[in-house]
Amino acid sequence: MSELIRLEGISKVLKGQKEPRTILDGVDLTVRAGESVAIVGRSGSGKSTLLSVLGLFDRPDSGTYQLAGRDISRLRERHAAKLRSSHFGFVFQRFFLLKHLTAAQNVAMALINGQGWLPRRERRTRVMRALEQVGIEHLAKNRPAKMSGGEQQRVAIARALVRDPRILLADEPTGALDTETGSIVISALQEATTRGCALILVTHDRDHAARMGRILDLQAGILTERAPALSVNGPTAQLPSLGGPA
């Protein structure tokens, strides 16, 4: 599969009131299409900062960032915003759904903001496909208040998927969910990798990390790759199936 992301020597320094603090310290990372990568590490180790650099919300202070072969290390915000909506999908611990809109309308919002108004019919097709991809098409007309936490998070994932991102960035997407529901949400994210999307998952949950193809450890801004676990069937062997109410 083709290389999507290449970080080389990425550093991020916070210039606070006192001493500057190094948050990311020479991070190297390569991610290919269809790969799933877990980023683990203690609170404050820089995981969310790394995701915000990857997702072009923030620029590195040094190092290079190549996206699909193009150097984007020093991109202006206008171009960064375009790349964000064309290449990335974001999922966070909080679902950030609009409560007065249905599931389908929440997902459709991503299309309106990112690509102008698509014809109504195409919009509907894409929204329903995204809801199907996370197994909640039957909830299309429900509002968030009538959904479980796992269902709401799957709406948020559908909203991230509806623009066909090449990279999904998820920052503790199961942090607000119980174990079983969290597992279903991880399956929904992982499913996107079967269509060639790369998944980068920040998680505190060891079991969820173990289901990714690779595990990277961030400690005080230094990223190291863990040796792959020995598994006959590979990391995606025993996934709970999607679908059905959570």
Q: Which is nearer to ligand ATP, 85 or 93 (CB)?
A: 93
Which of ligand ATP, Mg ion, none lies near 241, with the C-beta cut-off 5 to 8 A by kind? Answer: none
C-alpha–C-alpha distance, residues 188 and 125, integer Å: 19
Q: Which is nearer to ligand ATP, 47 or 163 (CB)?
A: 47
Q: Residue 213: how many CA atoms within 13 Å on its side-chain side? A: 16
Q: Which is nearer to ligand ATP, 14 or 112 (CB)?
A: 14
By DSSP bridging, strand 214-219 and strand 222-225 are antiparallel
Q: Nearest 5°: CA angle at 181, between 177 and 183? A: 105
Q: Say if CB 56 and CB 83 are below 8 A apart.
A: yes
Q: How far is the CB of 78 from ligand ATP (least distance, A)?
A: 22
Q: Say if CB 114 and CB 85 are below 8 A apart.
A: yes
Q: Residue 30: which of 62, 1, 59, 52 has the closest Cα?
A: 1
Q: Which is nearer to ligand ATP, 27 or 161 (CB)?
A: 27
Which of Mg ion, ligand ATP, none lies near 23, with the C-beta cut-off 5 to 8 A by kind? Answer: ligand ATP
Q: How far is the CB of 2 from Mg ion (least distance, A)?
A: 29
Q: Which is nearer to ligand ATP, 54 or 139 (CB)?
A: 54
Q: How far is the CB of 93 from Mg ion (least distance, A)?
A: 8
Which of ligand ATP, Mg ion, none lies near 46, with the C-beta cut-off 5 to 8 A by kind? Answer: ligand ATP
| DSSP labels, 164-223 | --SEEEEESTTTTS-HHHHHHHHHHHHHGGGGT-EEEEE-S-HHHHHTSSEEEEEETTEE
Applying CB under 6 A, the residues found at the interface with ligand ATP are: 14, 23, 41, 43-49
- Residue 193 found at the interface with Mg ion (CB under 5 A): no
Count of residues of this chain found to bind Mg ion when the rule CB under 5 A is applied: 1
Q: Say if CB 100 and CB 64 are below 8 A apart.
A: no
Binding mask 23-52 vs Mg ion (x if CB under 5 A, - otherwise)?
-------------------------x----
Task: Tell me which residues touch Mg ion (CB under 5 A).
Answer: 48
